[in-house]
Amino acid sequence: MWRASVLTIFPEMFPGPLGLSLAGRALAGGVWALTATDIRDFATDRHRSVDDRPAGGGPGMVMRADVLASAIDAVAPADDPRPRLLMSPRGAPLTQTQVSALAAAPGVVVLCGRFEGVDERVIGGRAFEEVSIGDFVLSGGEIAAFALLDACVRLLPGVMGKEASAAEESFAQGLLEYPQFTKPNLWEGRPIPDILTSGDHAKVAAWRRAEAERLTQQRRPDLWAAHLRRAAGSGSPEKSSKKPAKKPAPEG
């Protein structure tokens, strides 16, 4: 079973959205387990304090290393093989590749920071990797933890309805996902592209590939550049090294 342990001062926030939809069904079905530990339970004073003024002065408060270490050691002893992650805006951006690796691990230990952050000594002393979900600041790490855990859980065996769908999503092949359509065939004068209803699977696959390339080049030039580097490094004559084909103009 994939086990997620979250350390937070707001354990009542969990499972929250993780108790619904795919993640919720998998949680109820025993595919994965979630525990939320209240860091305040490891405070040593009657006020259950977990923070103090920053050394050197400055605004806000910093989460204490001693209190955090006690909480971490109770949840994840030194021999716990699970990756340790601190949700932090200064961390490396979370990627689908990292999510896939985390989903293949025994689980994760997630520390949700608050206030001005976490004492640097506990990050190094307990071997936490800082992870960011974007270049913005939240009130705490809990919302970011939801995003990370949901991304991991949906990749666990048996959670998604069709295993093939994960392989075609955005980032799975280093490209953004191609556009999707469904009934009705004509909506507000906008038809589904004819090629998608042609029954020609080879042409449909080629169209989807071209659209994925077009969107990636247009919206994420960083991903597109990385894609071209991979194609060049493989030594194979990738069509992706050329300018993506234009989207066929819908008829009717």
Q: For the segment 106-130, what is each residue's pLDDT rounded down to a tens digit?
A: 999 999 999 999 999 999 999 999 9
pLDDT of the residue at 167: 60
Percent of the chain with pLDDT over 90: 86
The whole-model pTM stands at 0.85
Q: Are residues 31 and 89 in the same domain?
A: yes
CATH number of the domain encompassing residue 217: 1.10.1270.20
* Range 20-29 average pLDDT: 97
Residue-wise pLDDT tens digits, 134-152: 999 999 999 999 999 999 9
- Secondary structure of residue 50 in the 3-state scheme: coil
Tokens standing for residue 175: 């490209």
- Among residues 110, 125, 153, the one where a domain terminates is 153
* Range 34-38 average pLDDT: 98
pLDDT of the residue at 70: 98
Contacts made by residues 90-94, CB under 8 angstroms, sequence distance 24+: 90/130, 90/132, 91/129, 91/130, 91/131, 91/132, 92/129, 92/130, 92/131, 92/132, 93/132, 93/133, 93/134, 94/131, 94/132, 94/133, 94/147, 94/148, 94/151
67 within a domain of the structure (yes/no): yes
Q: Are residues 199 and 135 in the same domain?
A: no
The count of domains in the chain is 2
- Secondary structure of residue 196 in the 3-state scheme: helix
161 within a domain of the structure (yes/no): no
Quick one: which of 77, 66, 62, 4 has its CA closest to 37? 4
Q: Which domain holds residue 86?
A: 2-153
* CB neighbour list of residue 191: distance below 8 Å, 6 or more residues apart: 185, 250, 251, 252
pLDDT of the residue at 241: 44
pLDDT of the residue at 245: 47
**Whether the predicted pLDDT of 101 surpasses 70:** yes
- Among residues 118, 153, 188, the one where a domain terminates is 153
* Range 158-178 average pLDDT: 75
Residue for token pair 């390339």: 213
CATH number of the domain encompassing residue 32: 3.40.1280.10
130 within a domain of the structure (yes/no): yes
* Range 217-225 average pLDDT: 96
* CB neighbour list of residue 125: distance below 8 Å, 6 or more residues apart: 65, 69
